[in-house]
Structure 1
Amino acid sequence: MIQASARQLHPASEPWPWFWRRLGLGWLLTALSLASGVAADRPKAAVPAPRVWGLTTDDPTLDTPRQIEALKALPHRTTLRVVFDPPAEGHPTATDYVPATQALATAAEIMGLPLDSSAMASMDLPTVRRRIAEYLEALSPFVAIWEVGNEVNGNWLGSEVVPKVEAMFDAVTAAGKPSAITFYYEVAPPKGHGLLPWIDANFPKGHRLRKGVSLVLVSYYEDQNQGHRLTPKELGRLFRGLAVRFPKARLAFGEFGWGGGIPAAFSTRSDLLRRMYGYRVPSVPAFVGGGFYWHFRQTMVPQTSPDWEVLHRLQAQAP
């Protein structure tokens, strides 16, 4: 989640869980299509990967039963980012999150976030290593994919960002789990923090994250970018750039909402929901949608809320 700075305000024990099996099948079809194109006189079009519908809960322990009800009532099974907060006076610990995460895993595929961008600067590298080990041990049976870095190119994350991300990635990989990483997109980024240039400077060609990350996500907050709405040209340029740098990964939006406070007007919220969940990038077969709306718990619970109805309609209209 974006944080105030000098410039800005801001599940599964199976080896191949549902989330990964679904994406893996789509990518297998793509590979077969490409392979057949080698033998044919003319190339075959790549098969788009299956769509992912993403939401975020910033606290799985609050109102958990109604969060579960809202997730189960959606037409498509959702991938839910679960934010695990850093401890204050010893709590919460990883085991504190087990009951809620286990329960939510019955209703959604869980993407675990052990270290949000807002907390990165507060932890040194040894603490990050201990933290990811603790969370993997306690929660791996219920987490389908681990987010090993959140908004990692943001200018508020402090020092040793890359070693911290590498430590989490290495631990998740050693545990045999797929990983995700989220980058932060700005229309006019501070020097040294532009999304694609930052990747090139910090994860150069051949870096293990480029080859090993399974899901690459983009965080974008319109209200932190003077209300700018992304254009098809921007989307194509951004996600084509990511596809070149992470050729084995699926690509998606990984976070959106409001950094400056949730608007009271339903029309404002519904417009953003329709826009962000409606984006398509036909030129990039690896693009799988995502979204991961940050305010699921606040505006889509209970399932009778108008914002939940918007997402329900969008999913019901999708293939």
Structure 2
Amino acid sequence: MIPRLLVALVLAGLALGGRTGPASSGPQDRTPPAPVVSPVVPLRGVTLESVRHLDEIEQALARHSRRPVARIVFQRGAGPAHYTRAVRRLHDDSYLMGEILDSTAVRRTTVREYRNRTRAFVHRFGSRLDLYEIGNELNGEWLGRPRSINAKVAAAYDVVKGEYADLGLRSVVTLNYWPSRDCYAHDWEATLPFARQLPRRVRHGVDLVLLSFYETACSPRAHPSAGQFASTLRSLGEIFPDAQVGIGELGAQGRADGLPRDPTSAEKERIARRYIGMHDRLADAVGPRFVGGYFWWYYATDAVPWDRADSLWPTLEDLYATLGQPRAGP
């Protein structure tokens, strides 16, 4: 997730970073291979920033009328064992994407640690995860410098698509969508130039490229149009010639992200309806390689329990139930 506080500090001339350590598992922990299942397009994504309250999360996912893609954030300091129960239970009601490490924890993770962490999760879960997000919000200064970022995503790619090639796993990278220069501190963070300089094997081998966007990551707050998103997605399709494209993280940031207040329920609903509501226009403008996505951040906070009075669950269900359905004629 884009750290709004870090963005603010960087724009003031400071640089911060997270820390994580390696995780590992023994050969006896490897989950037996399962058939690789392709998530149904369009993807109806939610992000689980936490797997606490697993019973309530499971209930919320199960009640959606269309099978969602639950993106589990593998938090720093937590290895595969921490997520084994969640992966086992949630796969009954959702497709699963595993985020190897959130962008906020990448900077002080060495290439070796990043590679070993990827190995540990792939070793444990294999094809039980339908998608592996090998790099999150890569074009953010809080991850470090491009050379280091490239080395880490390439190391993870080599594990997923090289060492475990026999499993046919699907890989994902997420980039920040910056609609203007007001959204980032350094020239190298610009979305398309950064994408073009990624290692060639990643650009030509990754299966899915997503754009992460938060209105409050920019100052002033940004409200890009469907046309702006579509233009960038089409360009990404040229840079990643064999990948599908979509929208990654969306959400409403608050105090935990460095903002002065938390968003209201009405603000969360507005953001969800504005950007998920762009789906048909994006699909028309981008073409068949556009797969949806949306992966609402803070799903476990905003939409669980599903029947809570101020839950965002009904809004997401309303949007996802009809996503990609044939539209009535004029």
Q: TM-score range by the shorter chain?
A: 0.7 to 0.9
For residue 152 of structure 1, what is the amino acid of its counterpart? L
SS in 1 for 2:317: helix
Q: Distance in 1 between matches of 2:252 and 2:269?
A: 13
Q: State the match for 2:19 in structure 1.
A: none
SS in 2 for 1:68: helix
Q: Distance in 1 between matches of 2:321 and 2:306?
A: 15
Q: State the match for 1:223 in structure 2.
A: 216
Given candidates 226, 233, 237, the residue that maps to 2:231 is 237
Q: State the match for 1:171 in structure 2.
A: 159
Aligned-pair RMSD on alpha carbons?
2.1
Map 1:21-100 onto structure 2 (within 5 A). 22=40, 50-60=41-51, 62-87=52-77, 92-100=78-86
Q: State the match for 2:285 in structure 1.
A: 283
- 1:13-63 Cα offsets, whole Å, 9 max, x none, are 4343141xx4xxxxxxxxxxxxxxxxxxxxxxxxxxx31111100112x00
Runs of 5+ consecutive residues of structure 2 not aligned to the other structure: 17-30, 256-260, 326-330
- 1:201-237 Cα offsets, whole Å, 9 max, x none, are 334xxx1112211110000000122322111331221
Using the TM superposition, give the Cα deviation of residue 264 of structure 1 relative to its aligned residue in structure 2, in angstroms: 4.3
Q: State the match for 2:149 in structure 1.
A: 161
For residue 302 of structure 1, what is the amino acid of its counterpart? P
How many residue pairs are counted as aligned between the two chains?
Answer: 282
Q: State the match for 1:250 in structure 2.
A: 244
Q: State the match for 1:121 in structure 2.
A: 107
- Normalised TM-score (structure 1): 0.83
Q: Measured at CA, do residues 193 and 8 of structure 1 come closer, stay the same or move farther in structure 2, by a change above 3 Å?
A: same
Task: Answer whether contact 2:252 2:268 (CA < 8 A) is retained.
Answer: no
- Normalised TM-score (structure 2): 0.80
Task: Answer whether contact 1:12 1:143 (CA < 8 A) is retained.
Answer: no
Q: Distance in 1 between matches of 2:246 and 2:152?
A: 23
Q: Measured at CA, do residues 242 and 124 of structure 1 come closer, stay the same or move farther in structure 2, by a change above 3 Å?
A: same
Q: Distance in 1 between matches of 2:112 and 2:320?
A: 42
- 1:172-194 Cα offsets, whole Å, 9 max, x none, are 11313110000011222331110
